[in-house]
Amino acid sequence: MTEDGIRQQLVKYARLAYSRHLVRGSGGNFSARVDSGRMLITPTGVSLGDTEPTSLVEVDIASYACQSPAGYQPSKEYRYHADILRLRPDIGAVLHVHPPHATAFAVKKRDIPMLTDAAFKQRPIPRVSFAPSGSDTLQQRVADAITTNPGCAALLLEEHGLVTLGITVVAAFYLADLVEELAHIACLAAAL
């Protein structure tokens, strides 16, 4: 896919993540690899629902150097996005959101129960212990979780939210949407 095509996909699915209530306010961030050394990421301080092609920030995956002709700053989580793309060459996109049901399990420091046919097909979702967003500690803990769980497709950040990995932007979005559905079903089943 061309860089312009990736840009258009990031805009479409970042807006969809917001309209699906996977995240609210100006929370969440979405990145995609454009080539072996660079990624695009949503900017800080802007709702995913307001993502524009020109607001995406280009980041060097190895050096974390950022470029934005329009003057935007990257999401403060840009370093762990770059780390995931560097550690997992099979992955093309990383989405971080705060979906309420999945995040409820993250708050309670519990794994999301895998209760349905769709859930049985998912890989385990490792939990990452809390560190403040944007911190060096969270960056390190995410990198450690990726390294110690080869092939994982999602991480639950305790007291924070969800990170999904996809070969494409679309795959990362679908997985976040699905994990939230699985967590919602688990909450409803527990309440019956």
Chain contacts with Zn ion (rule: CB under 5 A): 161
Would you say 44 or 55 has its CB closer to Zn ion?
Answer: 44
Beta strand spans in the chain (E): 29-33, 38-41, 57-60, 66-67, 93-97, 127-128, 154-157, 161-166
Q: Does the annotation count 77 as an active-site position?
A: yes
**Minimum CB distance to Zn ion, residue 14 (Å):** 14
User: Sheet of 154-157: strands edge to edge?
Assistant: 66-67, 57-60, 38-41, 29-33, 93-97, 161-166, 154-157, 127-128
Residue nearest Zn ion, CB atom distance: 161
**Minimum CB distance to Zn ion, residue 142 (Å):** 11
| Residue keyed to tokens 């929370």 | 27
Pairing status of strand 154-157 against strand 127-128? parallel
Catalytic one of 77, 158, 159, 180: 77
| Residue keyed to tokens 């129960």 | 113
Would you say 116 or 135 has its CB closer to Zn ion?
Answer: 135
The answer to whether the CB of 179 falls within 8 A of the CB of 112 is yes
Tokens encoding 142: 């995410």
**Minimum CB distance to Zn ion, residue 58 (Å):** 21
Would you say 27 or 113 has its CB closer to Zn ion?
Answer: 27
Q: Rounded distance, CA 106 to CA 114, Å?
A: 15
**Minimum CB distance to Zn ion, residue 175 (Å):** 16
Would you say 27 or 119 has its CB closer to Zn ion?
Answer: 27
| Active site amino acids | 77
